Amino acid sequence: MTIAAAEQTTPQMPPSPAAGAAPRGEPAILCKDVWKQYYFYAHRPRKLKEAFIQFVTRKTPPAKDAPVWALQDFNLTVGRGETVGVVGHNGAGKSTLLKLLSRILVPTKGTLQINGRLSAIIELGAGFHPDLTARENVFLAASFLGFSRKKTMGLYDRIVDFAELQEHMETPVKYFSSGMHARLGFAIAVSVDPDVLLIDEILAVGDATFQPKCIDAIKRFQHDGKAILFVSHAMDQVKQLCQRVIWLKHGQIMAEGDAVETVTQYLEYYWPGSQKKAK
């Protein structure tokens, strides 16, 4: 899991609205005219030896292939207390969006703003050092989030209890299963009390006992007025947890609106008649 953080100084806000209430005051997430471009090289050297030979022989570097726009003219506002879902096929730009918001990537054009502490779970296994134990990774991740060792010690038991990994905290995480990674990553992310939470498919790898705990934690965050951006291919969970949904296709917004209506549009586009059969 990648655990990312961003802290910005903002004026003190009034009490946040409960889930479902209209966003008030300064938005938690603001994306304005965001574009992200990638270049792919068909013949880029893959090994140090190949790069050295290319340099010595003075071969012309490979030309760039046609650029790919992962996001195009993307605009998004997420208010405090709002949970917004993002759906789309693989390669639609969902993960790119989360990495931009997490400051892992920078936009080619446009601006992004996060108001408050950001906690993000965006990639299974990423962000943890494989040779460090689970305990050591908790302190490492917390330090990235700006927490002192003393403050992390105060959170440690809560993180372990949520993850239910008491017997494995002295085990290097390279031996963890995908589900154990998910447990540890989610436990850290929700225990640091973020103002903004980014989630990417974390529930897909959770087992039957862990998923309800995650959903309960998300609902508590909603009740406390936290902003959540939820990326998933699990449409039932998207409809259950989100008030609003954005459908991305090739980096562009195809539809945005009520969660049930937008998910229905998305499913009907790719599987015509599927929603009629479901009824």
| Radius of gyration for the chain, computed over Cα atoms and rounded to the nearest angstrom | 20
For residues 73 and 35, the answer to whether their CB atoms sit within 8 Å is yes
Confidence at residue 206, expressed as pLDDT on a 0 to 100 scale: 64
CA triplet 23, 25, 28: central angle to 5 degrees? 70
Half-sphere exposure (CA, 13 Å, Cβ side) for 244? 20
Q: Which residues contact 195 (CB under 8 A, 6 or more apart)?
A: 28, 80, 115, 116, 117, 118, 226, 227
Q: Which residues contact 224 (CB under 8 A, 6 or more apart)?
A: 16
DSSP β-ladder status, 244-249 and 68-78: unpaired
Confidence at residue 20, expressed as pLDDT on a 0 to 100 scale: 38
Residue type, 256: E
Confidence at residue 223, expressed as pLDDT on a 0 to 100 scale: 94
* Dihedral sign computed on CA atoms, order 57, 59, 61, 66: negative
CA distance 241 to 275: 19
Confidence at residue 249, expressed as pLDDT on a 0 to 100 scale: 96
Tell me if residue 70 falls in helix, strand or coil: strand
CA distance 139 to 260: 39
Burial string for 110-132 (b: 16+ CB within 10 Å, else e) reads bebbbbbbbbbbbbbeebbeeee
Confidence at residue 242, expressed as pLDDT on a 0 to 100 scale: 96
For residues 200 and 123, the answer to whether their CB atoms sit within 8 Å is yes
CA distance 99 to 120: 9
Which residues face 120 on adjacent strands? 198
This prediction's pTM? 0.79
Q: With a cut of 50, which residues of the chain have pLDDT below it?
A: 1-23
Q: Could you read off the pLDDT of 151-178 as tens digits, one per residue?
A: 999 999 999 999 999 999 999 999 999 8
Confidence at residue 222, expressed as pLDDT on a 0 to 100 scale: 93
Which domains occur in the chain, in start order?
29-278 (3.40.50.300)
> By CB neighbour count within 10 A (0-12 exposed, 13-18 middle, 19+ buried), where does 209 fall?
exposed
